[in-house]
Amino acid sequence: KLGNETAKAELGRAAWKVLHTTFARFPEQPSEDEKEALRSFVHLFQRVYPCGECAEHFGQVLAKYPPQVSSRSAAAMWGCFVHNLVNKKLKKPEFDCEKIGDAYDCGCGEDDKDTKG
């Protein structure tokens, strides 16, 4: 468990950035394998997340609201929704999920597997 609030917040910002950017790049029409990969990634991310109290709360969130992996927009909206649940717990303002569209650009070029990364 990280005892330092500044470090915990920095970890959280970095983690949310990775999560939202991953959802923003998820295929529009994922294969079954891609859906399973995202679902596993989110669950494993929760299991290994280094802030214990955060991981515990997020585990409860995942049990109630499993990752939505049917499409990019479903994944992105789900990510925004669960981040808002954490915002609520921490008494932070709610993010307008209609604005999620352009908020997470990874700068990785064409939206195409060959140029990813």
Residue 76 near ligand FAD by CB under 6 A:
no
CA distance 5 to 14: 14
The label of the residue with tokens 């921490």 reads 90
Q: Under the criterion CB under 6 A, does residue 26 sit at the interface with ligand FAD?
A: no
Task: Please give the structure tokens belonging to residue 52.
Answer: 């214990």
Asked whether 58 and 86 are in contact (CB, 8 A), the reply is yes
* CA dist., res. 29 & res. 51, Å (int): 33
Q: Which of 20, 30, 38, 68 binds ligand FAD (CB under 6 A)?
A: 20
Size of the site for ligand FAD (CB under 6 A): 21
Which DSSP string do the residues of 28-61 spell out, in sequence order? SS--HHHHHHHHHHHHHHHHH-S-HHHHHHHHHH
For ligand FAD, which stretch binds (CB under 6 A), given 21-29, 47-55, 65-73, 105-113?
47-55
Under the binding rule (CB under 6 A), the answer on residue 47 touching ligand FAD is no
Q: How far is the CB of 109 from ligand FAD (least distance, A)?
A: 22
Q: Report if residue 9 touches ligand FAD, rule: CB under 6 A.
A: yes
Query: Contact residues for ligand FAD (CB under 6 A)?
Result: 8-9, 12-13, 15-16, 20, 49, 53-54, 57-58, 80, 83-84, 86-87, 90, 92, 95, 100
